[in-house]
Structure 1
């Protein structure tokens, strides 16, 4: 099975821009005074189908502010979110929830990547892919306003997170901090290799666990996108070992 990274199509015809953000998110955590690292993981995971409107207003306010909080407060907020999130959700700093809200303008393809870590689709494209049997696509309505008579009906795609880098492409590990126990991470290797044993068999598209800024699809989805002639993204084949 081949795997591909999704990238926004750079063609100049795709002028679409979303000035929008999700309603809630888990905040940062105050940094360690010794190593200056955040003592919790960070993710770019997006869970637009998770509704936090039933939480107390004060907690919703805390979850609308990304400013770092003490670790104990982060853990409290995380545990408030946990029962409302899907079991596969990575509840780390940076995870966002709720509908995408804001404004949009310009021309969008059928598949939309505002940045490398987010994926939206026109409603009809999502329905076509789901009808074709593509697995792992959960789409949630957005609250994006357009100043046009023919505004696209966009769905924000909620993805599971899977997959690891193959050890052959990674640098040696850094020693952990003696105070907080956190080790400095590494940037995404270029090029990077995927570990075949870590890749999912039950979904055709997912967010990469070792680099949550990357969205990965297998050849089953890529072939379907091409057969349906859906535009807006390009696919870069990845090496798998």
Structure 2
């Protein structure tokens, strides 16, 4: 059985050889809203689709300003972009769209993660991942300005998939909302594991329940290890109930 790992950025960058920082924002995004039936809102960390280009839309400027709008207005804006979204994209209020615009200080490693869980690669890093036969590697251009002499940064667009293993599946609370489809869940147990049957055909992906969590396969972890000090670390995920439940990764 293939092992899977949670991918994290080392918070104390002073403890690594990686020295870099980023100041940027996404070009477009869906506004926030509140469902009139269940009052659910949006704004899930990690739901980003850098490949989406809204420039051809006559109303593209309506997607440039972060704000909250009434439900009917949100539905109009959401439905207008659905044909432009990647297959199986998760579309919710507050998602980020298009390339990142801004600046990068320092020199990120071949593969790097920022504080908001965006995953970047240098062109050489993308070539290594693809040459290793890793699945789900989709490098997208950014509009980031880098320091002189530094290579450009690409951003990996990740599929959102995966589910909790059966022994830590949270209980559903009530039925899905008939208006927005939101399903409320009970509390998670002290630990969580990955359902191996829910793993997509990709060696790196975002966890469906929490897209800010990036999961990688054993093969990806091996390739990452060969890239030297990247400022990233992996923690193995259980796929069944451990004999002694520990803290969640």
Provide the residue aligned with 1:26 in structure 2: 30
CA contact (8 A) 2:25 2:101 kept: yes
Give the TM-score, by structure 1 length: 0.86
Matches within 5 A, 1:32-181: 32=36, 36-38=39-41, 42=44, 44-56=46-58, 59-115=59-115, 117-146=117-146, 148-175=147-174
Q: Is the 8 A contact 1:204 1:220 kept in 2?
A: yes
> Cα gap change, 1:214/1:190 in structure 2, threshold over 3 Å: closer, same or farther?
farther
Q: Tell me by how many angstroms 1:159 deviates.
A: 0.7
User: Which residue of the partner structure matches residue 213 of structure 1?
Assistant: 212
Runs of 5+ in structure 1 lacking a partner?
none
Contact map agreement 1:160 1:206 (CA 8 A) in 2 = yes
Partners of 1:110 and 1:230 within 8 A in 2: no
| Secondary structure at the counterpart of residue 239 of structure 1 | coil
Give TM-score scaled by structure 2 length. Answer: 0.83
Comparing 41-50 with 209-218, greater Cα deviation is found at: 41-50
Number of residues of Structure 1 aligned to a counterpart in Structure 2: 235
What's the offset of the Cα at 1:83?
1.3
- C-alpha distance in 2, partners of 1:158/1:37? 26
Task: Give the alignment partner of residue 17 of structure 1, picking from 14, 18, 21.
Answer: 21
Report if the CA contact (8 A) 1:37-1:184 is conserved. no
Q: 5+ unaligned residues in a row in structure 2: which ranges? A: 241-249
Q: Distance in 1 between matches of 2:129 and 2:163?
A: 26
